[in-house]
């Protein structure tokens, strides 16, 4: 018997199963267009015990199989959100969505895996990892971890080895902003990049010039601007551009791949595009908010409305959104995350007198797949195959779990969505599954509706109903040395032989 908890999520306390028709371990998806990142075709998909067993036209099955008709619909890999913060302690409070509510919301929106950022405890990576292992016990979908680096010393460097070699972490996020807490200087950033390179782990950066942001905040306070608009005014796009450029050049100097998280501005995007053009291995991740929102809300006379939109880097002026979309469609940016980091109105009110105290973050884990379909595919900017690439496959490749994830192929995990392009979605805090009382996409409608989500071979979302089981989600270990590391050793060898080429130098005696 299922119970109803908050946010209308039906779940089974014991985790022992759901009604027999939907919990069948055998599922056939018939007649849909199966979309992978490089190919789409009309085919049936047959799933058994959580794994895709067959993908071909006209599969015949026995009566014990649950059959889903996908005629006229797209059958695609479930979304992989590469950037979330569930149950994160931050700015004097904790994000309102935990590993159960955040993941339930994700599943209702067609995302079947996410990668969350472990925050070290007093600088200890191991203590942070253990804390997140605990938080994630109630997971109802698969998840992986990045590790944030919040200070730097030899102990941290040693612990990074353990994280990569024993704990399934293959990426580390460094902060160029949040002066006084997480920010590290360029020398330490270089040490971090070197360590990542030696471990085959991907270096990620939060790229804003933290010293300049600190200066900008003082300037706003001196001008008497204490409201949410002060947040955006204190950290303009040029500071994101500067830090992005600096991080890229430092990663180039070390010759290690770099991943720029939450690319919010044209300034940052253009630095990434330029570096990629020159052959550098740089990945740019825009997030849903940056692609579809603009900063006008920050000037809303109602504090709580405006505060809802405070995140870092800030949501930019109109124009940046369209430019980021275009960059995604041409390949200058490679995949879409959310930076899902939700705080309710009470939490946002912590900054009522001072924008520096407004907890930073917006929602998106439930909305990303719909927003990207509507904004990018319905608008004609990208194909369905590109949609799969930027919402799922590229995440799986970068974090080295393809084709187990990110594909509808024989042997892949059965994480699948069925999207009806002729149906529409509408976003509202009244109907969403996040625990937050607000939604930055309130009232937004669009075309393309995710009608079914299958996660780990179970139908968890159908007929606008969620059926999720706490504890069902698995921790997915992310192995080091993804495709981004191919060729790094050859380039290093070429570099060394070029600088060590003997110079015929004559010494002239005076």
317 sits in the region (left: phi over 0; alpha: psi -120 to 50; else beta) called beta
Return d(Cα 144, Cα 80) in angstroms, integer. 10
What are the residues whose beta carbons fall under 8 Å from the beta carbon of 295, sequence distance 6 or more?
A: 232, 309, 314, 315, 316, 317, 318
Tell which one of 7, 140, 311, 376 touches ligand URP (CB under 6 A): 311
**Contact call for residue 106 and ligand URP (CB under 6 A):** no
Contact 390, 263 (CB under 8 A): no
Pattern 437-476, binding to ligand URP, x per CB under 6 A?
----------------------------------------
Pattern 318-357, binding to ligand URP, x per CB under 6 A?
---------------------x-x----------------
By C-beta, is 108 or 341 nearer to ligand URP? 341
Return d(Cα 381, Cα 392) in angstroms, integer. 18
| 191-210 residues near ligand URP, rule: CB under 6 A | 206
Minimum distance, C-beta of residue 262 to ligand URP, in the bound complex (Å): 6
By C-beta, is 28 or 136 nearer to ligand URP? 136
**Residue 168 structure tokens:** 């399934």
Q: Compute the chain's Rg from CA coordinates.
A: 23
Which range touches Zn ion (CB under 5 A), out of 107-115, 204-212, 266-274, 276-284?
A: 204-212
Residue nearest to ligand URP (CB): 360
Q: SS3 for 442-477, per residue? A: CCCEEEEEEEEEEECCEEEEECCEEEECCCCCCECC
**Contact call for residue 98 and Zn ion (CB under 5 A):** no
Pattern 339-358, binding to Zn ion, x per CB under 5 A?
x-------------------
Minimum distance, C-beta of residue 262 to Zn ion, in the bound complex (Å): 6
What are the residues whose beta carbons fall under 8 Å from the beta carbon of 28, sequence distance 6 or more?
A: 44, 45, 46, 47, 59, 61, 65, 66, 67, 68
**Contact call for residue 361 and ligand URP (CB under 6 A):** yes
Q: 3-state DSSP call for residue 34? A: strand
Binding partner at 311 among ligand URP, Zn ion, none, C-beta below 5 to 8 Å by kind = ligand URP
CA dihedral 240→85→97→417, nearest 10 degrees, is: 100
By C-beta, is 33 or 289 nearer to ligand URP? 289
Tell me which residue has tokens 């939109």: 309
**Contact call for residue 308 and ligand URP (CB under 6 A):** no
How many CB atoms are located within 10 Å of the residue 310 CB?
24
Residue nearest to Zn ion (CB): 206
Interface positions with ligand URP (CB under 6 A) = 85, 206, 262, 311-312, 339, 341, 360-361
Contact residues for Zn ion, defined by CB under 5 A: 41, 206, 339
């Amino acid at each position: 018997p299922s119970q109803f908890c908050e946010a209308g999520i039906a779940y089974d306390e014991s985790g022992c199963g759901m009604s027999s028709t939907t919990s069948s371990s055998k599922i056939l998806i018939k007649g849909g267009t199966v979309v992978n990142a490089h190919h789409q075709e009309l085919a049936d998909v047959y799933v058994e015990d959580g794994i895709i067993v067959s993908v071909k036209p006209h599969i015949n099955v026995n009566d014990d199989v649950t059959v889903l008709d996908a005629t006229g619909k797209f059958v695609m890999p479930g979304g992989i959100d590469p950037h979330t913060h569930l149950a994160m302690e931050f700015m004097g409070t904790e994000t309102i969505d935990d590993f159960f509510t955040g993941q339930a919301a994700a599943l209702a929106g067609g995302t079947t895996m996410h990668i969350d950022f472990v925050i070290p405890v007093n600088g200890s990576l191991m203590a942070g990892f253990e804390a997140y292992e605990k938080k994630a016990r109630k997971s109802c979908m698969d998840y992986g971890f990045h590790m944030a680096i919040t200070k730097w010393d030899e102990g941290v460097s040693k612990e990074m080895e353990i994280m990569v070699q024993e704990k399934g972490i293959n990426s580390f996020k460094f902060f160029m902003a949040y002066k006084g807490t997480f920010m590290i200087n360029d020398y330490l950033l270089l040490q971090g990049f070197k360590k990542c390179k030696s471990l085959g782990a991907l270096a990620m950066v939060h790229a804003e010039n933290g010293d300049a942001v600190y200066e900008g905040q003082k300037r706003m306070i001196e001008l008497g601007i204490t409201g949410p608009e002060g947040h955006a005014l204190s950290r303009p796009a040029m500071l994101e551009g500067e830090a992005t450029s600096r991080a890229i050049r430092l990663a180039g100097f070390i010759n290690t791949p770099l991943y720029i998280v939450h690319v919010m501005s044209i300034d940052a995007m253009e630095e990434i595009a330029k570096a990629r053009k020159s052959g550098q291995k740089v990945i740019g991740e825009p997030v849903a908010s940056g692609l579809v929102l603009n900063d006008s809300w920050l000037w809303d006379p109602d504090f709580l409305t405006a505060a809802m939109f405070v995140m870092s880097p800030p949501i930019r002026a109109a124009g940046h959104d369209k430019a980021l979309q275009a960059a995604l469609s041409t390949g200058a940016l490679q995949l879409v995350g959310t930076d899902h980091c939700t705080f309710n109105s009470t939490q946002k009110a912590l900054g009522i007198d001072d924008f520096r105290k407004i907890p930073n973050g917006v929602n998106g884990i439930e909305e990303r797949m719909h927003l990207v379909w509507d904004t990018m595919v319905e608008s004609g900017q990208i194909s369905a195959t590109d949609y799969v690439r930027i919402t799922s496959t590229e995440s799986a490749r970068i974090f080295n779990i393809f084709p187990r994830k990110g594909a509808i192929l024989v042997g892949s995990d059965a994480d699948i969505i069925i999207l009806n392009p002729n149906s529409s979605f509408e976003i509202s805090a009244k109907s969403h599954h996040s625990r937050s009382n607000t939604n930055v996409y309130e009232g937004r409608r669009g075309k393309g509706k995710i009608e079914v989500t299958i996660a780990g071979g179970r139908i968890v979302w159908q007929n606008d109903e969620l059926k999720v089981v706490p504890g069902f989600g698995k921790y997915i270990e992310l192995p080091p040395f993804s495709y981004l590391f191919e060729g790094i050793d050859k380039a290093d060898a070429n570099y060394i032989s070029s600088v060590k080429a003997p110079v015929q130098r004559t010494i002239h005696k005076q």
